[in-house]
């Protein structure tokens, strides 16, 4: 059924609607560009119909009218001093292009050893990134930073889950006990919003006892015991972990070819304990994916990449607890973590510098991300302390109240420009420092603008509504939401992140002052879909700027200020918005 909804586009279109519109536009544009035969003229690269020779004026940057109005970053940001600008204050000029969006390459790096195939990182927030999100990020070519509002040992386990993840091979499938009732299983499926209804049956020791399949997980059988409706172990065809471990997906492909009508490959050890499961639909999806352009971000041992936030653990006297910090970092490194992030609200401080130096001295080759700063001096300082990549952003986050509470912070584009000057200072000292734009991104166009000055972006709010973000889905008036809260919100600080904002969560004598709020995000589907929309938008932007790579995007970027009328023009306006979606 096709549902048609209409809405009058108001003068001040909501941020969410703008983001949605931008994402839709991005997809539409990139899809359009992919269909080369039908590409509209305004999107198509300029081509000389008679020959491959393009007028030199189009190639060079010297057309005087263009250069008078559309300025490179140095000229532009200096000309706008002392006003600080953010994403919507600015638009990018189109450039001569020979690049189709689909050919734009989004590869970037956060250090000389950590390479990503897309420049997107999920934020180390307790409502954004745990292992599920980190796995989705790495599979799409990005990086997830696992938050630290959990016991240190649990964070290490979360990292291990990503590093041990084999795409399609579920190492810890959800199981059910034989003495449970079908009703219990139905309740579990509803509560956890599982999208599947076939479950292995195991005992408390993990011994495989059977498989309960979707066709008996029905209200009709709710009073029956799982043991009475399951397919018993003796009737199941299983595979041994030693046989499938080298390449579980290939093994599963062969298994499903040989066992017609079976959709789950159950993997056991020699003693019969369940070691994992592969479903035929996953194998089909993965086989299809290998033909697409999706390139996961992997380490040299072919494991997915992952990062983890480090808490600046302090002793009662306020000094860094060096032993604990180093022991925790060592445990993360033992699980092959690819990067650690020293995440604080104010990174240009003696405490953060000490912590970066401590970790750098102990782990010379580990990629260290540190922040947050908004100044060239801050970047140069953290670079000198040993950081590889520096997070830029103070106050732009969608759940952030730092600018209201502390009166401090810099609108994000100007902050990025100024901070990038610090990376140039470091480059003069032979340090290749990466800049990461952190916060305030609400649509793919913002990412394109950020990448004209930065090597990667960190997303919080744009990913918090994904299924892979931690937290339950809740329904309010027929709409589905997930919780999204600032790490400086009272609730998050009480769960552990107070140190990030310079507070002590155990200090009952002083009130914690929140610099973030607790909020809800509408459920936005799978991270795969959200990222695909964003990637399409970034590639679209690169196509418009004639940039095949991110360094070319930076070189080609020409900026202009946008007036309030220009901002209004940039979003859908003076129309009745119609959204058509299949139900
Ligand atoms: P968003 O993508 O605009 O939602 O911003 C996410 C970013 O906001 C995070 O990556 C952090 O840098 C920052 N952030 C997270 N929690 C807080 C907070 O409570 N106050 C201020 N900034 C925050």
Q: What CATH number did the domain enclosing 312 receive?
A: 3.20.20.70
Residue 12 has pLDDT above 80, yes or no: no
| 439 CB near ligand 1 (under 6 Å) | yes
Write b or e for each residue in 319-339: b if 16 or more Cβ atoms lie within 10 A of its Cβ, otherwise e: ebeeeebbebbebbbebbbbb
Is the same domain home to 124 and 7?
A: no
pLDDT at 502: 63
Distance 15 CA to ligand 1 centre (A): 17
Least confident of 2-6, 93-97, 400-404: 2-6
Q: Which of 241, 270, 289 is the last residue of a domain?
A: 289
Residue 43 pLDDT exceeds 70: no
- In degrees, to the nearest 5, what angle opens at C-alpha 361 toward C-alphas 327 and 328? 15
Q: Are residues 139 and 207 in the same domain?
A: no
Q: At what angle do helices 412-428 and 376-385 cross, to 10 degrees?
A: 50
CA of 232 to the centre of ligand 1 (A): 50
Confidence at residue 317, expressed as pLDDT on a 0 to 100 scale:
87
Candidates 341, 314, 344; CA nearest to 504 is 314
- The residue whose C-alpha atom lies closest to atom 17 belonging to ligand 1 is 486
Residue of minimum CA distance from atom 16 in ligand 1: 486
pLDDT above 70 (res 139): yes
Which residues, in sequence order, are CB contacts of 315 under 8 Å at separation 6+?
321
Angle between the N-to-C axes of helices 322-334 and 152-163, in degrees from 0 to 180, rounded to the nearest 10:
20
Residue 580 maps to a domain:
no
Residue 389 has pLDDT above 90, yes or no: yes
Alpha-carbon distance 437 to 23, whole Å? 19
Rounded Cα gap, residues 547 and 553, in angstroms = 5
pLDDT of residue 248: 86
Ligand 1 center to 259 CA (angstroms): 50
Lowest mean pLDDT among 57-66, 289-298, 409-418: 57-66
Ligand 1 proximity of 489 Cβ (cutoff 6 Å): yes
State yes or no: pLDDT of 39 exceeds 60: no
**Ranges assigned E (strand) in 379-431:** 389-392
Does a structural domain hold residue 189? yes
pLDDT digits (tens, 9 = 90+) for 243-258: 998 888 889 999 999 9
Indicate the pLDDT class of residue 273, thresholds 50, 70 and 90: very high
Q: Both 422 and 533 in a single domain? A: yes
Confidence of residue 510 (pLDDT cuts 50, 70, 90): low
Would you say the CB of residue 121 lies under 6 angstroms from ligand 1? no
DSSP string, 4-69: EEEEEPPSS--HHHHHHHHHHHHHHHHHHHHSGGG--TTTSPP--SS-S---HHHHSS--HHHHHH
Asked if residue 415 and residue 279 are part of one domain, the reply reads: no
Is 92 a domain residue? no
What ligand 1 atom has the least distance to the C-alpha of 398? 3
Question: What average pLDDT score do residues 507-533 get?
Answer: 84
How high is the mean pLDDT of the chain?
A: 86
Instruction: Provide the pLDDT for residue 168.
Output: 76
Share of the chain above pLDDT 70, in %: 85
Q: Does the CB atom of residue 487 touch ligand 1 within 6 A? A: yes
Instruction: Please indicate, yes or no, if residue 433 is contained in any of the structural domains.
Output: yes
What string of DSSP letters covers 282-336?
HHHHHHHHTTSS----B-TTSPBP-EEEE---B-TTS-B-HHHHHHHHHHHHHTT
Contact 144, 122 (CB under 8 A): yes
**Token pair for 193:** 């919003």
pLDDT reported for residue 537 = 98
- Both 269 and 374 in one domain: the answer is no
Would 358 be classed as within a structural domain?
yes
The reply to whether 201 falls in a domain is yes
- 94 CA from centroid of ligand 1 (Å): 31
> Poorest-confidence range of 219-223, 435-439, 575-579?
575-579
Check pocket membership of 400 for ligand 1, CB cut-off 6 A. yes
Checking if the pLDDT of 59 tops 70, the result is no
**Rounded (5°) CA angle 375-363-382:** 10
Q: Which residues are catalytic?
A: 400, 500
Q: Give the range with max mean pLDDT: 423-427, 437-441, 521-525.
A: 437-441
Q: Ligand 1 pocket, 488 CB below 6 A?
A: yes
Final residue in a domain of this structure, among 289, 316, 343:
289
**With bands split at pLDDT 50, 70 and 90, how would you rate the model's confidence at 46?**
very low
Residue 56 maps to a domain: yes
Ligand 1 nearest-atom number relative to CA 464: 4
For 489, residues 6+ apart whose C-beta sits below 8 A from its C-beta are: 399, 514, 516, 517, 518
DSSP state of 93: P
321/249 same-domain check: no
Residue 396 to residue 458: CA distance in whole angstroms: 12
- Name the nearest CA neighbour of 341 among 286, 383, 375, 389: 389
Average pLDDT over residues 393-401: 93
Reply yes or no on whether the pLDDT at 511 is more than 60. no
**pLDDT score, position 517:** 87
Does the pLDDT value for residue 36 go beyond 80?
no
Nearest to 366 by CA among 390, 348, 387, 344: 387
Q: How many domains is the chain built from? A: 3
In the reported structure, the alpha carbon of residue 535 is separated from the centroid of ligand 1 by a whole-number distance in angstroms of: 21
| pLDDT tens track for 477-509 | 989 999 999 998 888 888 876 666 666 655 544
Segment (H or E) for 371: strand 367-373
Please indicate whether residue 123, judged by its CB atom, sits closer than 6 Å to ligand 1. yes
CB 283 within 8 A of CB 298: no
- Residue 203: domain span: 169-289
Do 547 and 410 share a structural domain?
yes
Map 44-61 to HEC letters.
CCCCCCCCCCCCHHHHCC
- Helix runs in 348-407, H state only: 350-362, 376-385, 402-406
- Say if residue 56 is in the same domain as residue 110: no
SS3 annotation, 459-485: ECHHHHCECCCCCCEEEECCEEEEEEE
Residue with the larger pLDDT of the pair 383 and 13: 383
Q: How far does the centroid of ligand 1 lie from the alpha carbon of residue 221, in Å?
A: 47
Is-contact 521 464, C-beta < 8 A? yes
Closest ligand 1 atom number to CA of residue 391: 12
> Which of 16, 87, 122, 123 gets mutated to test ligand 1 (max ligand atoms within 8 A of its CB)?
123
Same domain, 325 and 463: yes
Backbone φ and ψ of 385, nearest 5°:
-75, -15
* Residue of the CA atom closest to atom 10 of ligand 1: 123
Atom of ligand 1 nearest to the CA of 484: 4
Task: Please tell me the distance from the alpha carbon of residue 546 to that of residue 538, in angstroms, as a whole number.
Answer: 12
**Nearest alpha carbon to residue 167 among 298, 332, 334, 337:** 298
pLDDT (tens digit per residue) in 254-271: 999 999 999 999 999 999
- Ligand 1 centroid–CA 298 distance in Å is 26
Is the same domain home to 503 and 443? yes
> 């990174």: which residue's tokens?
347
Tell which wins on pLDDT, 248 or 306: 306
Residue nearest to atom 22 of ligand 1 (CA): 400
> Residue 286 is encoded by which pair of tokens?
């993965």
**What mean pLDDT comes out for the span 273-287?**
87
- Asked whether 130 lines ligand 1 (CB < 6 A), one says no
| Closest ligand 1 atom to 517 CA | 19
Tell the residue nearest (CA) to atom 7 of ligand 1: 439
Asked if residues 545 and 96 have their Cβ atoms less than 8 Å apart, the reply is no
Last residue of a domain, one of 289, 321, 352: 289
Dist CA 245 CA 238 (whole Å): 14
In a domain, 500, yes or no: yes
| Nearest atom of ligand 1 to the alpha carbon of 460 | 2
Mean pLDDT across the stretch 9-20? 39
**Quick check: CB of 438 below 6 Å from ligand 1?**
yes
* Separation between Cα atoms, residue 344 and residue 378, nearest integer Å: 13
Our answer on whether the CB atom of 274 is closer than 6 Å to any ligand 1 atom is no
Q: Same domain for 113 and 205? A: no
**Confidence at residue 580, expressed as pLDDT on a 0 to 100 scale:** 66
Residue 165 binned pLDDT confidence (cut-offs 50, 70, 90): confident
Neighbours of 174 (CB within 10 A): 15
Contact at 8 Å (CB) between 246 and 280? no
Determine which helix (DSSP H) or strand (DSSP E) holds 120, and give its type and residue range: strand 120-122
- In terms of domains, do 485 and 400 share one? yes
CATH label of the domain that carries residue 261: 3.10.580.10
Q: Distance, CA 390 to ligand 1 centroid (Å)?
A: 15
CA pair distance 326, 498, nearest whole angstrom: 20
Distance 341 CA to ligand 1 centre (A): 14
Which residue's CA is minimally distant from atom 8 of ligand 1?
Answer: 397
Whether 417 has a pLDDT exceeding 70, the answer reads yes
Checking if the pLDDT of 347 tops 90, the result is yes
Answer whether 122 contacts ligand 1 (Cβ < 6 A).
no
């Amino acid at each position: 059924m096709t549902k048609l909804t209409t809405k009058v586009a108001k003068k001040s279109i909501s941020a969410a609607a703008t983001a949605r519109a931008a994402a839709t536009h991005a997809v539409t544009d990139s899809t359009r560009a992919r269909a080369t035969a039908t590409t509209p003229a305004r999107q198509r690269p300029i081509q000389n119909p008679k020959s491959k020779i393009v007028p030199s004026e189009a190639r060079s940057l010297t057309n005087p009218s263009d250069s008078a109005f559309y300025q490179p970053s140095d000229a532009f940001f200096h000309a706008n001093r002392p006003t600080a600008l953010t994403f919507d204050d600015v638009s990018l000029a189109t450039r001569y292009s020979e690049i189709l969006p689909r050919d734009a390459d989004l590869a970037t790096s956060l250090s000389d050893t950590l390479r990503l195939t897309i420049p997107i990182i999920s934020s180390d927030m307790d409502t954004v990134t745990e292992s599920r999100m980190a796995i989705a990020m790495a599979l799409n070519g990005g990086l997830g930073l696992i938050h630290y509002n959990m016991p240190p040992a649990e964070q290490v386990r979360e990292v291990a889950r990503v590093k041990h993840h084999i795409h399609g091979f579920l190492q810890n499938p959800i199981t059910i006990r034989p003495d449970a009732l079908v009703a219990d299983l139905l309740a579990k499926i509803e509560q956890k919003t599982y999208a599947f209804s076939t479950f292995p049956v195991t005992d408390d020791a993990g011994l495989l006892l059977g498989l309960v399949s979707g066709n008996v997980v029905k209200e009709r059988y709710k009073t029956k015991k799982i043991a009475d409706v399951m397919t018993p172990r003796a009737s199941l065809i299983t595979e041994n972990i030693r046989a499938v471990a080298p390449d579980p997906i290939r093994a599963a492909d062969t298994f499903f070819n040989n066992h017609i009508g079976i959709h789950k490959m159950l993997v056991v050890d020699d003693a019969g304990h369940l070691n994992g499961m592969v479903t035929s639909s996953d194998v089909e999806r993965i086989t299809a994916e290998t033909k697409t352009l999706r390139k996961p971000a992997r380490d040299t041992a072919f494991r997915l990449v992952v990062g983890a936030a480090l808490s600046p653990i302090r002793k009662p006297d306020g000094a860094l607890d060096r032993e604990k910090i180093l022991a925790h970092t060592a445990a993360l490194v033992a699980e092959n973590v690819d990067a650690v992030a020293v995440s604080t609200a104010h990174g240009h401080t003696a405490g953060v510098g000490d912590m970066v130096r401590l970790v750098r001295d102990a782990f010379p080759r580990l990629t260290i991300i540190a922040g947050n700063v908004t100044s060239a001096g801050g970047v140069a300082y953290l670079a000198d302390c040993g950081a590889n990549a520096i997070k830029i952003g103070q106050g732009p986050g969608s759940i952030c109240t730092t600018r209201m509470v502390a009166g401090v912070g810099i609108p994000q584009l100007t902050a990025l420009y100024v901070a990038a000057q610090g990376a140039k200072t470091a480059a003069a000292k032979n340090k290749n420092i990466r800049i990461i734009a952190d916060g305030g991104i609400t649509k793919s166009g913002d990412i394109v603008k950020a990448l004209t000055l930065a090597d990667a972006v960190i997303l919080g709010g744009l990913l918090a509504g994904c299924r892979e973000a931690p937290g339950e889905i809740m329904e309010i008036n027929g709409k589905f939401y997930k919780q999204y809260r600032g790490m400086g919100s009272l609730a998050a600080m009480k769960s552990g992140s107070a140190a990030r904002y310079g507070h002590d969560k155990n200090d009952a004598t002083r009130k914690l002052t929140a610099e973030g709020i607790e909020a809800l995000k509408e459920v936005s589907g799978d991270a795969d879909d959200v990222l695909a929309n964003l990637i399409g938008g970034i590639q679209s932007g690169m196509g418009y700027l004639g940039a095949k790579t991110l360094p070319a995007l930076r070189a080609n970027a020409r900026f202009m200020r946008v007036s309030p009328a220009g901002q209004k023009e940039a979003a859908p306006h003076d129309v009745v918005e119609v959204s058509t979606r299949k139900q």
